[in-house]
Amino acid sequence: MRILWIVNIELSALARHLGNNTGCGGGWMDGALKNLRMFFPELHIGVVSTFFGKTLEHYPIDGVDFYRVPYGSRKQYDKKSDHFFQELYRSFKPDLIHIHGTEYPHTLSAAENTEKIPAVVSLQGIISAYQPYALGQLSPLTLLMHTTPRDLVRFQLPTMLSRDMKKRGIFEQKTLMRVSHVIGRTDWDHAYALHLNPQLIYHFCNETLRDEFYVDSCWSYEKCSKHTIFTSNGSVPLKGVHHLISALALLRKKYPDVHLNIAGGNTLISHDWRNVLKRTAYNHYLNRLICRLDLQNNISFTGTISAEQMRQQFLRSNVYVLPSAIENSPNSLGEAQILGVPVVSAEAGGILSMVKHQENGLIYRYEDTVQLAYWIEKLFEDPELAIRMGKNARVEAFIRHDRKKNAETLMKIYQDVFQQNILS
């Protein structure tokens, strides 16, 4: 069976081959590809990403056919690229096309040109559902008042976040109207997929995590850094780090040594002019918030980190917090759970399919910083609760993220979609 993947980043094998930075995202797709090939070696898999080039490129690497399709923009539908997808499909001759994600215009191009080839779309986020939360409940005026030189030079005013998401949501809806099959993993994405296209056939398949998280070592209360909190993304308002920082100020009244580690580049608490020039309006807002609350000594930024470094951050933390306004099923949450780290999460999107309150984690309303601080304090003060939550989460996460089971489920979906296409 010949399966062609359409992805929105370069997978690590291609990035290494081209000498590009492998980055810190998409590791779960590397894992899914590796496991599919391990458990189903008879599959012939092609992987397609886009680039700012002029000709279709083909790179056979370790038994996988990698392609790069020229595409003019990640924000605008490029009709001129249709012939590249048509050429690609003629060349690879896929039995099935698997489109990963819906939020970029090239996925619409891929779906528009399938003709009679069966296609299935994997939902990552639902961008049209994310759009109302783009500013993380901050007012447009607040963010505009923190506009930076970077925003002006790149013409990326903070209020454009919502507009860009709305535009990408249109691509998403058109993509989902062009296919008959979709893969999801939460009650929330199931509801929204059928809301956008009631005729879709929904297939359930959990995601596989990065290899580094399938290890014997797990979180230990005795070994963790007490009163240390970790969160994995603070780059945009939707991720809600501003609320976590406000909760941190409440916690510091009782725990002067409380510390928050945020994954990502340190463009905030820095006087280096190069970092200052990288600041977005949201970075600038966070920087002022941190200074106003006098939390400079209670917050650190990890910089860009590898999967192994991320794992170590989880293990050192007393608590992992997911403060996002909206998510589907974030892999960072799955990674924390599979390591047995105690979790506090905002009730958002598909989170309730992963976190059962007071069983394998603690839930709070996104904007309720008092409740957030209360649950973090509860885990600080009650080691037995933290250990129990972590153990329960670890057991469930190993079932949810079982590599062999997920590969078998995905293969079964491919076979079902292919057979249904023959019969239709």
pLDDT per residue as tens digits for the range 246-303: 999 999 999 999 999 999 876 566 666 666 677 888 988 999 999 999 999 999 998 8
Q: Kindly state the tokens that stand for 300.
A: 């650190």
List the one residue out of 12, 84, 97 whose CA is nearest residue 46: 97
The lowest-confidence range among 17-21, 325-329, 365-369, 392-396 is 17-21
Q: How many Cα atoms within 13 Å fall on the side-chain side of residue 295?
A: 28
Residue 25 CB neighbour total at 10 angstroms: 10
Determine the Cα–Cα distance for residues 50 and 73; give it in Å rounded to an integer.
Answer: 9
Identify the residue with better confidence: 274 or 167: 167
Residue of 358, 369, 331, 361 lying closest to 241 (CA atoms): 369
User: pLDDT digit string (tens) for 168-213?
Assistant: 999 999 999 999 999 999 999 999 999 999 999 999 999 999 999 9
Instruction: Check residue 90 and give its pLDDT.
Output: 93
CATH of 212-400, one of 3.40.50.10490, 3.40.50.2000, 3.40.50.2300, 3.20.20.70: 3.40.50.2000
pLDDT band at 25 (very low <50, low <70, confident <90, very high): low
b/e per residue 173-190 (b: at least 16 CB within 10 A): bbbbebbbbbbbbbebbb
Q: Rg (Cα) of the chain, in Å, rounded?
A: 22
The confidence score (pLDDT) of residue 269 equals: 60
pTM (2 decimals)? 0.92
3-state secondary structure of 287: helix
Query: Does residue 75 surpass a pLDDT of 80?
Result: no
CA distances for 87 relative to 90, 113, 179, angstroms: 5, 10, 20
Query: pLDDT tens-digit profile of 212-235?
Result: 999 888 999 999 999 999 999 888
Distance, in Å, from the CA atom of 257 to the CA atom of 13, rounded to the nearest integer, reads 42
| pLDDT value, residue 23 | 63
Q: What is the pLDDT of residue 274?
A: 66
Delimit the CATH 3.40.50.2000 region(s) of the chain.
Answer: 2-137+159-208+402-423, 212-400
- The alpha-helical segments, DSSP class H, found in 253-367 are 273-278, 281-292, 307-316, 331-338
Query: Alpha-carbon distance 171 to 24, whole Å?
Result: 25
3-state SS class at 122: strand
The reply to whether CATH 3.40.50.2000 applies to domain 2-137+159-208+402-423 is yes
Mean pLDDT of the chain: 92
Contact 350, 188 (CB under 8 A): yes
